[in-house]
Amino acid sequence: MKQLQEFIERVILTSRYLLVVFYVGLAASLAIYAVAFVFKLIKTAKVALAGEDMVLPMLVLIDSALISGLIVMVMLSSYENFVSRFDTSATEDSPDWLRRLDPGSLKVKVATALLTISAVQLLQVFLDMEKFTEKQIMWKVIIHMVFIASALCLAGLDRLTTVSAQKLIHKKPDGSEASAPAAPAAPPAVPPP
């Protein structure tokens, strides 16, 4: 029975490597999106050379950059959290935020990125309102408000779980509160030469 349990645990633990397929797929989609971005950039350059208003084309480029950043953030932090840690000892090229991003804070960052993307798209709608009906605009605003509410809820939940986890760390086995460890003493001041 013990051998069967160990086998099942090994299979379940090893199955996390199946996630690599999704992350490689995200990397491939990012490459395809980069090619599409180059075409958007060329189109924006044509608009600029024609002397037309640049605000909407620039918002399209900003939107593309935000979506690309979201893909990278999800891909890197999910791989780091669920599959394997990146070996960054040989390179200084690792993003600073990578080690600090747990699944809870990743959800908050993704919600914030989606909110920002939604805000940029809503700004595009308001700058080009004649292309949209009142009902379409209303639904875009409602969806944006839902993103705001979702981001606030996720941030609140992340804050609650962080505070709860910190309280659990400071509990003694008997359930009483442990005192926080004393801060280390400051080194003695050295007078300037």
Q: pLDDT tens for residues 34-82? A: 999 999 999 888 888 877 777 778 888 888 898 898 898 888 888 887 8
Check whether 33 has a pLDDT greater than 60.
Answer: yes
- Who wins on pLDDT, 4 or 172? 4
Average pLDDT, the chain: 80
Q: Can you give the pLDDT at residue 34? A: 95
Q: Can you give the pLDDT at residue 43? A: 87
Region 147-151 average pLDDT: 87
DSSP bridge pairs for 188: none
Q: Can you give the pLDDT at residue 168? A: 65
Burial class for 110, CB neighbours closer than 10 Å (0-12, 13-18, 19+): middle
SS3 per residue for 47-103:
HHHCCCCCHHHHHHHHHHHHHHHHHHHHHHHHHHHHCCCCCCCCCCCCCCCHHHCCH
SS3 helix, strand, coil % of the chain, rounded to 5?
Answer: 75, 0, 25
Cβ-contact 26, 73 below 8 angstroms? no
- Who wins on pLDDT, 145 or 184? 145
- Rg (the chain; Cα; Å): 24
Q: Can you give the pLDDT at residue 98? A: 64
Q: What are phi and psi of 51, to 5 degrees?
A: 80, 20
pTM: 0.66
The residue count of the chain comes to 193
Check whether 31 has a pLDDT greater than 90.
Answer: yes
